[in-house]
């Protein structure tokens, strides 16, 4: 059983002070830092949009390539991130799922390293976390979402609860950071 940690879009623009913030986005940073070392493999996805993209028709401009907003949160421990997966890089590319990364084939990357269990953390529960988790299930990974290590935007009340329910319904297991540190 080989497990990997996926940190989804823990970028400045998705944290308080950013362009499209999850109100508690920064709160998950210490939680993720505290579990990272339990994983032999850690991948971080980044939303990585061009300056103009159809995606900004639906959303405020965020995570533009090489901008401050696209940087990983400065509090996140970065020395044991093995691979960054860049997504949403095209001008018509939504890139909600980490499995849509354009710089690597994430499925292949994980399977080549014998990963069978993927633990997902990060932002935003309703969009990129959900899409990544559902793709992970479809691609055959045992898929876990670490409940206290994910944050939502909650554009409409109930969005986060609904997204969690949809993930569980799709075969995702919810765990907590305590489950991981207690083995
Ligand atoms: C995201 C909305 C728009 C996310 C990205 O990272 O979940 N949400 N783009």
Query: What CATH number corresponds to the domain at position 33?
Result: 3.40.50.850
Does 54 have pLDDT greater than 90?
yes
Strands 173-175, 142-151: pairing kind = parallel
Task: Give the binding-site residues of ligand 1, using a 6 Å CB cut-off.
Answer: 9, 14, 20, 47, 59, 123-124, 127-128
Q: How far is the CA of 95 from the centre of ligand 1 (A)?
A: 8
Closest CA to 31 of 73, 2, 1: 73
Instruction: Write down the pLDDT at residue 35.
Output: 98
Confidence of residue 1 (pLDDT cuts 50, 70, 90): confident
Q: Is 9 noted as a catalytic residue in this protein?
A: yes
Mean predicted lDDT score pLDDT of the chain? 97
Q: Is 87 noted as a catalytic residue in this protein?
A: yes
Rounded to 10 degrees, the C-alpha dihedral 85/22/35/73 comes to 60
Counting residues of the chain whose pLDDT is more than 70, the rounded percentage is 100
What pTM did the predictor assign? 0.98
Q: Tokens representing 55?
A: 């995606």
Instruction: Write down the pLDDT at residue 25.
Output: 98
Strands, DSSP E only, in the chain?
3-8, 41-47, 83-87, 117-123, 142-151, 173-175
Q: How far is the CA of 65 from the centre of ligand 1 (A)?
A: 15
Residue of 128, 130, 131, 135 marked catalytic? 128
Instruction: Write down the pLDDT at residue 132.
Output: 98
Residue of 9, 13, 26, 47 marked catalytic? 9
Domain hosting 152: range is: 2-181
**Tens of pLDDT along 65-75?**
999 999 999 99
Instruction: Write down the pLDDT at residue 34.
Output: 98
CA 117 – CA 127 distance, rounded (Å): 21
CA 155 – CA 148 distance, rounded (Å): 19
In DSSP terms, which residues pair with 42 in a beta bridge?
5
Q: How far is the CA of 140 from the centre of ligand 1 (A)?
A: 24
Instruction: Write down the pLDDT at residue 182.
Output: 85
Q: What average pLDDT does this structure show over 129-158? A: 98
Shortest-distance atom of ligand 1 to CA 129 = 7
Q: Do 176 and 46 form a contact (C-beta atoms < 8 A)?
A: no
When divided into structural domains, the chain yields a total of 1
């Amino acid at each position: 059983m080989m497990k990997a940690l996926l940190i989804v879009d823990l970028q400045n623009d998705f944290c308080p002070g950013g362009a499209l913030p999850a109100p508690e986005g920064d709160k998950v940073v210490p939680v993720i830092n505290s579990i990272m070392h339990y994983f032999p493999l850690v991948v971080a996805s980044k939303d990585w949009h061009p300056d103009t993209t159809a995606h900004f028709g639906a959303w405020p401009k965020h995570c533009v390539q090489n901008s401050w907003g696209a940087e990983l949160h400065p509090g996140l421990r970065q020395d044991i991130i093995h691979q960054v997966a860049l997504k949403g890089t095209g001008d018509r590319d939504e890139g909600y799922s980490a499995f849509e990364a354009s710089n690597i084939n994430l499925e292949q990357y994980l399977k080549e390293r014998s990963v069978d269990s993927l633990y997902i953390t990060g932002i935003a529960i309703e969009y990129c976390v959900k899409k990544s988790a559902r793709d992970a299930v479809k691609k055959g990974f045992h898929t876990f979402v670490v409940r206290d290590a994910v944050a939502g935007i909650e554009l409409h009340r109930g969005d986060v609860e609904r997204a969690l329910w949809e993930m569980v319904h799709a075969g995702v297991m919810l765990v907590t950071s305590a489950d991981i540190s207690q083995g």
